[in-house]
Amino acid sequence: MSVAKPKLMDEAPHGQVFQTLLEYGYGLGNGWSIGLEVPMSRVDGHDKLNGLKVEAQYVAEHNAHHGFYWGVRSDVGYSSSAYESQGINSIDINPIFGYRWAAWHIVVNPSIEVPLSGLNKQTQFQPSAKLARSISGTTQLGLEYFSGWGAVSAIRPQRERDETIYWVWDEKFASSRWNLGLGKPLNPSGGSVDKWVLKIGVNLDLD
């Protein structure tokens, strides 16, 4: 769940933008899981279903406390942004590269989106990353980075990219995990869409 304040643009919403992503995941064992994503939004008083996607994820066997690990998550379906009137069908491919050492954990996702419909058929580069440090056995503090760099064949200059960095707090409970983040765009006068973003993520273990 997130709430954002868009910067003033002719085509942007004039009020706060609320977005929610509901996701159900089922573990198949041996590093595999499948899931269903349902994104929704509320913009200028209007509710909108932003799409429907199915996903699959694989993470190779690794040491859960130290060292390198890798995986990949991919989803396919229809999605649209709270800032757009028309969405697209697409395939998202999200490589996962992580490393843990001592109290630190870093994850990098050089993700791409491959459009299957719409006028723009160019593959988009949307990298993200996270750096976190464990404060206790259940608490982490860190930074998260999300972005849109434009087409893979024509990467935008840095100031024209939609980039946001979040200060985040993660807390693990007996059957749930919480993520609270406050985001600030890196290019407020350039490609960034929002002035600020507040997000809350809740992961519930059902069995």
**Listed residue (179, 181, 182) closest to 195, CA to CA:** 182
Distance set, CA 46 to CA 32, 40, 167 (Å): 37, 11, 29
The dihedral formed by the CA atoms of 154, 90, 73 and 41, expressed in degrees to the nearest 10: 100
Tally of CB atoms within 10 A around 27: 12
Give the residue ranges of the chain where pLDDT is below 70.
Answer: 10-12
Which pLDDT value is given to residue 12? 66
As given in the structure block, the two tokens for residue 195 are: 């002035």
pTM of the model: 0.93
Which pLDDT value is given to residue 10? 64
% of the chain at pLDDT higher than 70 = 98
